[in-house]
Amino acid sequence: MGSLAAANWTFLTNHARVLLCIAHDPGIRLRDIAARLEITERSAYGIVTDLTQAGYIIKQKDGRRNRYQIQMHLPLPEPTSRERTLGEVLALLTGDTAPPCPTGSAS
């Protein structure tokens, strides 16, 4: 078998990777998301807008910054994965064994 060389692709979409950034830091700035994921700020903004419009995150103003709340109870958008919630998948990916926060609670 070959060695595990650095791949130029990833298993997770940029949308999933942005959700993981927000899960780790609900107050993260778009600039920091972009830097962490090596995408443009414009792409980060577009992804956050997509996720907000789809209802997967709620964006709240906190002074001059935004805070994001992930709607953990929502099902995944993939037709084959509708029995799983966003919170279950994020818990798996982040290694968080605690049950996801219910809607409306602060994290």
What is the per-residue pLDDT across 41-80, written as a single tens digit (0 to 9) for each?
999 999 999 999 999 999 999 899 999 999 999 988 877 6
26 within some domain: yes
- The pLDDT tens digits for 28-41 are 999 999 999 999 99
69 within some domain: yes
The predicted model scores a pTM of 0.75
Backbone conformation region of residue 38, classed left if phi is above 0, alpha if psi is from -120 to 50, else beta: left
How many domains would you assign to the chain? 1
Mean pLDDT of the region 6-27: 89
3 within some domain: no
Bridge partner list, 60 = 67
User: Tokens 């709340």 identify what position?
Assistant: 69
- Which residue segment(s) compose the domain that 52 sits in? 14-94
Output the domain CATH number for residue 40.
Answer: 1.10.10.10
Name the amino acid, one letter, at 11. F
How wide is the angle at C-alpha 105 spanned by C-alphas 98 and 48, nearest 5°? 90
